[in-house]
């Protein structure tokens, strides 16, 4: 942090720390932590957030040290994905060694899945499982530990796991995330703002972990969403938004009502969202296009019909139909693909690459199938005997991008880890070069990208996806 940033900070009750990522920097502020901070602020609790995701990995101790010494928090909350749990525990140790009386709390997907393992770390006092906003509030305010649903803690040498807390149903009652606690200009996609309009997903994708938000789909009302967009426009001048929900489009009437309200209130906003092929139809697509939707994100995941049906329950013809419909409405698409499913062969991986090239999305992102605890992929990989790291797992390897990965955790029955990595690099290069040639042959599209993202990001993408990945 700069000296100017530190001067503005005073002592706080709670410091939230988001660990850095191995292979990239944060594109958007972490809204889960920002939501927790907003709930605490409603109760007049002083909060600060340190998002290490906007800094270089090797500099985390410097930033943690500077902020600890400045704000002297009584509580430190640290988030942790599975791939971040090692660095999150390192941060916990660093905090406890400098300030032994500070209470350290870990939350997020990995502590929720493995609370006993995380609590066994001597530098961790508490684990929050699932949605943490009101669990942390209860803990800070001194509620009896045994009465706090969703909390795990230590007592007389034992690990206590209270019953699971009920999911938060009334999302409209929650405050908007505390974005004022971030330097928003440090994020890759600024001034675009991310939002979450719902929680939970009823679909059962075998690679997805649902322990945080569960399968129950819970929504904010269309007007509540628009109120947040208007607030962000007034405070930060935002006119482009990204709905970070697992699945924005499943509730047809909510989508139609949201689009209608945007138009009735004459709000000239552009927005994009995550969707699923079988939750769209022409009525929804046309309404979204008319209300400013300029990009849809689809998880395709496989190009082989048998594997596609197994992992997503989709048919290739339906994918082609919806993608064509979306394009005709003037909405760009970004598709996500996964290689290295336990049943993948060289032929099925080539089918996935070919489908990605055929669909020709405005952007495509590949990942290598990565088994995470408490997912169907983890269980299936164990059953088939294709997980490389079967004991003493180095959790830091469990991230899905392969740009800096030397050896994937996964292999398949017929494709080695080394060959999966080669296929990943081949897929990224092929699809990106297709996209680049398409864009260069369309000057208007090229200029749109430069207007929206500047020149630095496209050049960096070319270097990373064509030059660096070839090394």
- Residues 118-131 pLDDT 10s: 999 999 999 999 99
Higher pLDDT, 238 or 392: 238
Number of alpha helices (DSSP H) and beta strands (DSSP E) in the chain: 17, 15
Place of tokens 């060694």: 97
251 Cβ partners below 8 Å, 6+ apart? 198, 217, 219
Higher pLDDT, 433 or 5: 433
User: How many other C-beta atoms are found inside a 10 Å radius of the C-beta of residue 170?
Assistant: 8
Overall average pLDDT of the 52-73 stretch: 94
Across the chain, mean pLDDT equals 90
Which of 178-192, 210-224, 373-387 has the weakest average pLDDT?
A: 373-387
Element (H, E) at 417: helix 417-440
Q: What pLDDT score was predicted for residue 450?
A: 79
- Residues 21-51 pLDDT 10s: 876 788 999 999 999 999 999 999 999 999 9
HEC string of 197-238 equals: CEECCCCCCCCCCCCCCCCCCEECCHHHHHHHHHHHHHHHCC
3-state class percentages of the chain: helix first, strand second, coil last, to nearest 5 = 45, 15, 40
Return the closest-CA partner of residue 105 out of 166, 151, 157, 173.
151
Q: What pLDDT score was predicted for residue 382?
A: 82
448 Cβ partners below 8 Å, 6+ apart? none
Res 400 pLDDT > 90: no
Overall average pLDDT of the 357-376 stretch: 86
Q: What pLDDT score was predicted for residue 2?
A: 53
Threshold 0.75, pTM exceeds? yes
Name the pLDDT band for 441 (thresholds 50, 70, 90).
Answer: confident
Q: How many CA atoms lie within 13 A of 412 on its CB side?
A: 20
CA-to-CA separations, 220 to 97, 199, 215, 232, 247, in angstroms, rounded: 42, 9, 16, 17, 13
Q: What pLDDT score was predicted for residue 410?
A: 80
Q: What pLDDT score was predicted for residue 459?
A: 75
Under DSSP, is residue 119 helix (H, G, I), strand (E, B) or coil?
A: helix
Give DSSP secondary structure letters for 243-263: E--S-SSS-HHHHHHHHHHHH
Q: What pLDDT score was predicted for residue 188?
A: 87
- Residues 325-360 pLDDT 10s: 999 999 999 999 999 999 999 999 999 999 999 998
- Residues 175-201 pLDDT 10s: 999 999 999 999 989 999 999 999 999
Q: What pLDDT score was predicted for residue 96?
A: 97
């Amino acid at each position: 942090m700069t000296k100017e940033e530190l001067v503005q900070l005073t002592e706080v009750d709670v410091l939230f720390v988001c660990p850095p990522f191995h292979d990239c920097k944060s594109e958007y502020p972490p809204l889960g932590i920002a939501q927790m901070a907003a709930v605490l602020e409603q109760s007049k609790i002083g909060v600060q957030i340190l998002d290490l995701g906007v800094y270089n990995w090797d500099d985390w101790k410097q930033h943690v040290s500077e902020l600890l010494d400045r704000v002297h928090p009584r509580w430190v909350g640290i988030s942790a994905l599975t791939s971040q749990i090692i660095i999150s525990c390192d941060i916990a140790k660093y905090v406890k060694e400098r300030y032994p009386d500070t209470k350290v709390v870990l939350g997020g997907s990995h502590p929720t899945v493995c609370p006993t393992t995380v609590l066994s770390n001597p530098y961790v006092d508490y684990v929050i499982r699932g949605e943490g906003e009101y669990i942390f509030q209860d803990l800070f305010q001194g509620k009896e530990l045994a009465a706090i649903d969703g909390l795990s803690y230590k007592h007389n040498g034992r690990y206590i796991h209270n019953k699971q807390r009920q999911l938060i149903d009334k999302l409209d009652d929650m405050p908007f995330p505390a974005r004022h606690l971030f330097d928003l200009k440090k994020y890759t996609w600024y001034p675009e703002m991310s939002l979450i309009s719902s929680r939970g997903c009823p679909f059962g994708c075998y690679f997805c972990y649902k322990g945080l938000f569960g399968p129950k789909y819970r929504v904010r009302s269309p007007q509540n969403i628009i109120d947040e967009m208007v607030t962000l426009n007034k405070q930060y001048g935002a006119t482009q938004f990204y709905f970070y929900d697992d699945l924005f489009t499943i509730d047809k009437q909510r989508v139609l009502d949201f689009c209608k309200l945007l138009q009735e209130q004459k709000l000239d906003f552009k927005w994009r969202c995550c969707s699923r092929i079988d939750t769209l139809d022409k009525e929804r697509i046309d309404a979204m296009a008319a209300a400013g939707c300029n990009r849809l994100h689809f998880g395709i995941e496989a190009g082989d019909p048998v594997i596609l049906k197994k992992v997503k329950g989709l048919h290739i013809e339906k994918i082609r139909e919806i993608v064509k419909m979306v394009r005709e409405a003037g909405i760009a698409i970004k598709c996500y693909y996964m290689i290295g499913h336990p049943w993948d062969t060289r032929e099925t991986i080539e089918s996935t690459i070919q489908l990605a090239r055929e669909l020709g999305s405005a952007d495509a992102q590949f990942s290598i199938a990565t088994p995470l605890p408490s997912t169907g992929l983890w269980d299936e990989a164990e059953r088939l005997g294709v997980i490389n790291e079967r004991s003493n797992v180095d959790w830091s390897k469990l991230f899905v991008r392969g740009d800096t990965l030397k050896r994937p955790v996964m292999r398949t029955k017929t494709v080695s880890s080394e060959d999966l990595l080669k296929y990943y690099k081949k897929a990224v290069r092929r699809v990106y070069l297709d996209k680049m040639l398409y864009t260069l042959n369309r000057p208007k599209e090229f200029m749109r990208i430069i207007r929206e993202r500047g020149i630095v990001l496209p050049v960096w993408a070319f270097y990373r996806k064509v030059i660096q990945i070839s090394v």
